[in-house]
């Protein structure tokens, strides 16, 4: 075995992989949340659809997105490998268990992670798969550049010849895949809204332990930085981010 | 005090064990937990029964020999206390107490409540030492060490290697022990010669022994009788990653 793979196959190496993929996924959550706030804009999805097109066609972002899919898989697979090893380390369980000073989420990262993984599969087949290869409605926006008034028209598949954005006689014309409408439609279904809200609760507890835990694994546990890391872990990643995401399906459901 | 004990009895590592119930009668609340077991054992010896095997040595809380999972907690319900320093006044009269050995693949049961903790010895042998010159005796305090660093290294060195961290951890991970041993040398000038080799060697030995990995639940810190801090684990990780990626 080469030195490099030996390092990554040690327990600390495996934990480093969990930690780095986990932190990368955390950084993605922030970008995804900020971008998706455009769903709250009351513009028939103009900003959101333009953003969706940009995110799926701008080369550097495409590269990062493939890294992201890889991270999700690696984080999941390594979690399974580590869990198997950890289970094997205690073949005979204790007959009597007592509270041992650890928080609930730290002991149940696997269950929480599984819930999040199921969510990701549903989420990606709902939007990501359909946007790329499935059925998405099409839309045309005509914005009069003098008055700023936008007119919206649904397009059929035959009328849609690809994503375009141009100006003609003082009118900006944008033809796009209407992901916004697909989102609005999905979030009218109770089971999807419920799944999203439950998954975001799981995410909250997963990150309550996961974010600060990643820094401990990296070796960044210092009295100077610890309060900041704990603050970010609790208030940004396990409160603001999950609430922000959960607000989206709820907004469309009660709209 | 009168107590009911449910004690794990196991003839040897090959034979499956089981819980056996014993009565511990007329126990003084001022006895230590081990003295209470001595009383039970005396009675067993008198009736020609096999006494309960458990590890103990100094009975002063500094040798690291005593163990026991008492009602699901390593070294019992009192924080920062070894089983030998745990007194029966910490229990209620008439209580049922479940006593189990440390449970870990790397700590096989020798007999009853005694487990083989030589995995810890092998981890120490892999790197838990410093090189010294073999010349004349050096003057005392020749190497100046700031008080804060000396204190910090001493705090790590107070680990007695009892294995409560492994017992408490849901993954039977030995990282609190290993990190305390890595830390106590990494912080001191005397430990610099083997600093990075040490981190690698001890972590590798820990893996070879079959301990689990740390998931940062910090149960070990909560249950450690010597209150070793999980900041040691972060330091060990730093030492290891430094050794593997930068200094190695």
Which domains are delineated in chain B? Answer: 3-110 (3.10.20.30), 118-133+140-247 (1.10.1060.10)
- Output the average pLDDT for chain A: 95
Average pLDDT over residues A146-174: 92
**Cβ neighbours of A91 in B, within 8 Å:** 105
| Per-residue model confidence as pLDDT tens digits over B125-145 | 999 999 888 888 888 888 999
Final residue belonging to a domain, choices A147, A177, A207 = A177
Give the whole-angstrom CA distance, residue A95 versus residue B12: 19
Quick check: A7 pLDDT over 90?
Answer: no
B205 → chain A, closest CA residue: A10
A156 and A33 assigned to the same domain: no
Average pLDDT over residues A47-72: 96
Name the burial class of residue A19, with classes exposed (0-12), middle (13-18) and buried (19+) by CB atoms within 10 angstroms of its CB. Answer: buried
- Output the average pLDDT for chain B: 96
| Per-residue model confidence as pLDDT tens digits over B206-228 | 999 999 999 999 999 999 999 99
A72 and A162 assigned to the same domain: no
A28 and A127 assigned to the same domain: yes
Quick check: A1 pLDDT over 70?
Answer: no
A172 and A188 assigned to the same domain: no
A149 and A65 assigned to the same domain: no
Position A152 in a domain? yes
- How high is the pLDDT of residue A21? 98
Position A246 in a domain? yes
A77 and A155 assigned to the same domain: no
Given CA atoms A12, A14, A18, A20 in this order, what sign does their dihedral have?
A: positive
| Per-residue model confidence as pLDDT tens digits over A99-113 | 778 999 999 999 999
Per-residue pLDDT band at B60 (split at 50, 70, 90):
very high
Task: Select the more confidently predicted residue: A134 or A212.
Answer: A212
A80 and A64 assigned to the same domain: yes
- How high is the pLDDT of residue A81? 97
What are the E-state strand segments in A5-121? Answer: none
**Cβ neighbours of A212 in B, within 8 Å:** 216
- How high is the pLDDT of residue A50? 95
A207 and A120 assigned to the same domain: yes
**Cβ neighbours of B68 in A, within 8 Å:** none
A29 and A121 assigned to the same domain: yes
A129 and A215 assigned to the same domain: yes
Per-residue pLDDT band at A93 (split at 50, 70, 90):
very high
A233 and A166 assigned to the same domain: no
Quick check: B247 pLDDT over 90?
Answer: no
Q: Which of A81, A98, A227, A233 to mutate to test the interface with B (most CBs of B within 10 A)?
A: A98
Quick check: B115 pLDDT over 90?
Answer: yes
Closest residue by Cα to residue A43 from A128, A139, A187? A139
A115 and A146 assigned to the same domain: no
- How high is the pLDDT of residue B131? 87
**Cβ neighbours of A217 in B, within 8 Å:** 214, 216, 234, 237
Enumerate helices (H) and strands (E) in chain A, giving the number of each.
Answer: 11, 4
* Domain range for A237: 3-90+104-135+178-254
Q: What percent of chain A has pLDDT over 70?
A: 99
- How high is the pLDDT of residue A101? 83
| Those residues with Cβ within 8 angstroms of residue B85's Cβ, 6 or more apart along the chain or in another chain | B32, B60, B61
Give the whole-angstrom CA distance, residue B110 versus residue B55: 10
Backbone angles phi, psi at B224, to 5 degrees: -65, 125
Residue matched to tokens 């990190």: B179
Average pLDDT over residues B23-49: 97
Position A98 in a domain? no
- How high is the pLDDT of residue B233? 97
Position A95 in a domain? no
Per-residue pLDDT band at A156 (split at 50, 70, 90):
very high
Instruction: State whether residue B83 sits within 8 Å of chain A by CB.
Output: no
Query: How many domains does chain A contain in total?
Result: 2
- How high is the pLDDT of residue B134? 87
- How high is the pLDDT of residue A32? 97
Q: Which of A84, A100, A205 to mutate to test the interface with B (most CBs of B within 10 A)?
A: A100
Average pLDDT over residues B86-91: 98
| Those residues with Cβ within 8 angstroms of residue B172's Cβ, 6 or more apart along the chain or in another chain | A86, A89, A90, B103, B104, B105, B106, B107, B166, B211, B212
Per-residue pLDDT band at B248 (split at 50, 70, 90):
low
Per-residue pLDDT band at A2 (split at 50, 70, 90):
low
| Per-residue model confidence as pLDDT tens digits over B156-195 | 999 999 999 999 999 999 999 999 999 999 999 999 999 9
Q: What percent of chain B has pLDDT over 70?
A: 100
- How high is the pLDDT of residue B169? 96
Average pLDDT over residues A121-126: 95
Q: Which residues are paired to B20 by β-bridges?
A: B7
Give the whole-angstrom CA distance, residue A224 versus residue B224: 24
Q: Which two tokens stand for residue A113?
A: 């992670």
Q: Min CA distance, B205 vs chain A (Å)?
A: 10
Q: Which of A82, A106, A109 sits opposite B213 (nearest CB)?
A: A82
């Amino acid at each position: 075995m080469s030195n490099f793979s030996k390092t990554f196959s040690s327990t600390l190496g495996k934990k480093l992989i969990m930690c780095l993929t986990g932190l990368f996924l955390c950084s993605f959550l922030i970008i995804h949340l900020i971008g998706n706030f455009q769903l709250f804009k009351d513009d028939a999805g103009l900003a959101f659809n333009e953003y969706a097109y940009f995110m799926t066609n701008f080369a550097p972002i495409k590269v990062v997105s493939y890294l992201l899919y890889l991270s999700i898989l690696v984080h999941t697979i390594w979690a399974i490998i580590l869990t198997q090893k950890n289970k094997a380390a205690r073949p005979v369980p204790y007959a009597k268990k007592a509270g041992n000073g650890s928080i609930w989420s730290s002991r149940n990262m696997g269950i929480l992670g599984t819930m999040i993984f199921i969510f990701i599969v549903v989420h990606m087949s709902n939007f990501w798969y359909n946007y790329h290869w499935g059925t998405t409605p099409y839309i045309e926006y005509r914005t009069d550049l003098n008055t700023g008034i936008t007119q919206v028209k649904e397009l059929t598949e035959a009328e849609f010849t690809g994503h375009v954005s141009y100006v003609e006689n003082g009118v900006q014309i944008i033809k796009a895949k209407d992901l916004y409408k697909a989102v609005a439609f999905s979030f009218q279904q109770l089971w999807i809204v419920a799944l999203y809200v439950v998954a975001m609760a799981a995410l909250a507890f997963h990150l309550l332990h996961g974010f600060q835990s990643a820094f401990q694994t990296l070796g960044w546990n210092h009295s100077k930085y610890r309060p900041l890391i704990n603050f970010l872990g609790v208030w940004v990643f396990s409160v603001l981010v999950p609430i922000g995401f959960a607000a989206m399906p709820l907004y469309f459901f009660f709209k | 005090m009168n107590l009911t004990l449910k004690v794990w009895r196991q003839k040897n590592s090959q034979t499956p064990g089981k819980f056996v119930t014993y009565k511990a009668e007329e126990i003084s609340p001022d006895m230590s937990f081990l003295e209470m077991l001595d009383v039970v054992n005396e009675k067993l010896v008198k009736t020609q029964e096999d006494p309960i095997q458990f590890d103990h040595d100094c009975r002063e809380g500094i040798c690291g020999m005593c163990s026991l999972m008492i009602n699901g907690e390593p070294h019992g319900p009192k924080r920062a206390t070894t089983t030998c320093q745990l007194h029966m006044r910490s229990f209620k009269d008439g209580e049922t107490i479940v006593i189990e050995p440390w449970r870990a693949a790397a700590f096989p049961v020798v007999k009853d409540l005694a487990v083989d903790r030589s995995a810890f010895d092998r981890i120490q042998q892999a790197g838990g030492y410093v090189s010294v010159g073999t010349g004349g005796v050096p003057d005392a305090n020749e190497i100046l060490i700031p008080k804060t660093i000396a204190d910090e290294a001493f705090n790590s060195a107070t680990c007695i290697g009892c294995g409560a961290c492994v017992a408490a951890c849901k993954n039977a991970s030995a990282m609190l022990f290993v990190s305390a041993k890595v830390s106590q040398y990494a912080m001191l000038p005397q430990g610099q010669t083997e600093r990075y080799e040490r981190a690698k060697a001890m972590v590798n030995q820990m893996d070879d022994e079959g301990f689990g990995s740390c998931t940062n639940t910090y149960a070990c810190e909560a249950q450690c009788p010597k209150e070793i801090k999980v900041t040691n684990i972060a330091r060990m990780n730093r030492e290891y990653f430094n050794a593997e990626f930068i200094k190695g």
